[in-house]
Each structure stands twice: as structure tokens, then as C-alpha cells.
Amino acid sequence: MTDYGSLVDRLDAIAEELDDLMFDQLREAAAEKRGRPDDDKRLTQARRAIEKAARLLRGDQNVLQ
């Protein structure tokens, strides 16, 4: 089986970057008493897709969860 460790690590890092970006946007919106940021849903979907890709490469059995 091929070792995808470095690719999985990069995907995990991207997911963390997206989390940081999302939290920054949420903090700004809360400070300005605005609602949910426009990009929040799209960033959440992107993070979930990246996390799913990392799970697939790890060979996790419960990818759809």
C-alpha cells in the first residue's frame, strides 16, 4: 500500500487553516454584531471535503461519517 502520509499531513494543515479563517471571520462578525459571514457555509463545506479526502487516504473505514 502506498504511504500517503505527507499528503494527509498537508490536507490536515489546510483544514486547520480553513478553521482559523472561519473562526477569524466569526469573531469579526460577532464584534461587529453582524450575522453569519457570507463565506461561512462555503468554507465549512470545503473543510469537510478536505477532511474526507484525508480520511480516505488514511484508509479510514468510516469515511461517510
Grid cell digits, residue 19 = 478553521
Does the structure show a pLDDT above 60 at 65? no
pLDDT tens-digit readout, 6-64: 999 999 999 999 999 999 999 999 999 999 898 999 999 999 999 999 999 998 766 65
CA 19, CA 44: separation in Å to the nearest integer? 8
Residue ranges covered by each domain of the chain: 5-58
| Lookup result for grid cell 453569519 | 36
Query: pTM of the entire structure?
Result: 0.81
Give phi and psi for 53, each to the nearest 5. Answer: -60, -40
Contact 55, 64 (CB under 8 A): no
The confidence score (pLDDT) of residue 8 equals 96
Taking the C-alpha atoms of residue 15 and residue 13, their distance in angstroms, rounded to an integer, is 5
> Percentage helix, strand, coil, to 5, in the chain?
70, 0, 30
- Predicted confidence at residue 60, as pLDDT, reads 78
